[in-house]
Structure 1
């Protein structure tokens, strides 16, 4: 499964990045996440977090790519499925930003997972993008 969404945010890249990398506070901006426990601080390459979401089992996510103020990608592994989620901030000429979120699932059980939870996962990624926009634009 591959899913991506983008949202334009009327806020500075620095403000958006501050919110984006504060993963423990994500539940404040979206109902798609109940709780995030940062297992390794600070948020950086190789940091891990345990993410609790409604209707999904808790998952440990490990940051596999990280560029301060620009992007981070993290990965979660479960039997038969590797899920990779990327978060990228692109600065627009007017100083606002576009945030691109992508989610990929690969592995022998990925097609089954897509059938069982694909719609929910796509809804959650969209909720996270909209929640980020709302929070960043009200700061």
Structure 2
């Protein structure tokens, strides 16, 4: 889990966080994010093909979408489900963005051993980049 505080407002961070299809252009940890089906604009049931450097391509489905509060999406592959949560917590000045990745399923332990350190670095870079962009808004 990575949490980082910012002077940007919840609305400013949400504007960047929720613009999923621009992540490939905006964030160094994503090559592309393309909506493949479901509600548009994004919401529960929306599915996105996600490409990230050094990771297998995946299709994530949004399971929770709360504008201004956060969202959760999950990708299923043989033997493992990857669930990523993105939460905004308001503060008197600004907010905190908390992001986490959880792997479940028969291959979750192996995936954690292989990818945990790399993914932790990627999530930290993603969080910092999202907040920098929001602060410039």
Q: TM-score, normalised by structure 2?
A: 0.94
Whole-Å Cα distance in 2 between the matches of residues 100 and 117 of structure 1?
Answer: 20
Q: Which residue of 2 aligns with 1:130?
A: 128
Whole-Å Cα distance in 1 between the matches of residues 26 and 96 of structure 2?
Answer: 17
Q: Which residue of 1 aligns with 2:109?
A: 111
Matched, 1:9 2:6: yes
Displacement of 1:89 in angstroms is 0.6
Number of equivalent positions: 135
Helix, strand or coil for the counterpart of 2:96? strand
Q: Which ranges of 4 or more aligned residues in structure 1 deviate by more than 6 Å?
A: none
RMSD: 1.0
Displacement of 1:14 in angstroms is 0.8
Of the structure 1 ranges 97-106 and 111-120, higher mean CA displacement relative to structure 2 is found in 111-120
Give ranges in structure 1 of 5+ residues lacking alignment: none
Helix, strand or coil for the counterpart of 1:136? helix
Displacement of 1:66 in angstroms is 1.3
Of the structure 1 ranges 46-55 and 22-31, higher mean CA displacement relative to structure 2 is found in 22-31
Q: Deviations over 1:8-61 (max 9, x none)?
A: 111111111111010111123321111110123211011110000011111000
Q: Which residue of 1 aligns with 2:71?
A: 72
Of the structure 1 ranges 27-36 and 4-13, higher mean CA displacement relative to structure 2 is found in 27-36
Displacement of 1:133 in angstroms is 1.2
Q: Which residue of 1 aligns with 2:91?
A: 92
